[in-house]
Structure 1
Amino acid sequence: MSNSGTVRLRPYVSATETESGMVLLDQRTGRYWQLNDTASLVLRGLLDGATTEEVAARLAARHPEASGRSADDVASLVRGLEEARLTTRKSP
């Protein structure tokens, strides 16, 4: 898994922190996505400029019992957010 650019929310997507994670709202459609605490930790790290590898390492440290799949989990979340057109990557 390689970070081919910085992850950014699309201009029409707003993010709101909640007690249990984060909510993303697509202002064009009114659809929203609720991210749990772990997914919001991953997204916050990526939005702050961390690479997918760095975020996966943080996730593995936080959940050592699941460290073997942290890289796949991060990649899956990134792919899902991109497919939902909530995020994009800005080339370095």
Structure 2
Amino acid sequence: MQLREDVSLVDTDYGKVLLDGGTGEYWELNPTGSLVLTGLLAGRPAGEIAATLCAAFDVDGDRATADVTALLTALRDARLVRP
């Protein structure tokens, strides 16, 4: 997965911010969302990212998998990413 060319990604003290250069809209990601996005952009499988969430944030597997899926769906729905 890749961000669209006109989407910028910036690290912040709290996580990351995505800026859609086409619309001017931005999305703030907390540390959990930042970890998920970093994994997705690196091409890691969703299950592997969920396992990392479990270890990093003491969350159960079902919740971690749901969080990864929810962020991926939101990124696609907002048209911030390319397949």
- Report if TM-score (shorter chain) is over 0.5: yes
| Segments of 4+ moved more than 6 angstroms | none
% same residue: 46
Structure 2, unaligned runs of 5 or more: none
Q: CA RMSD in A?
A: 1.1
TM-score norm. by structure 1 comes to 0.84
Q: Which has the higher contact order (CA 8 A, sep 6+)?
A: 1
> Which residue is equivalent to 2:36?
42
Residue 29 (structure 1) aligned with residue 23 (structure 2):
yes
> Which residue is equivalent to 1:8?
2
Give the length in aligned residue pairs: 83
CA distance in 2, matches of 1:46, 1:76: 12
CA distance in 1, matches of 2:23, 2:14: 24
Structure 1, unaligned runs of 5 or more: 1-6
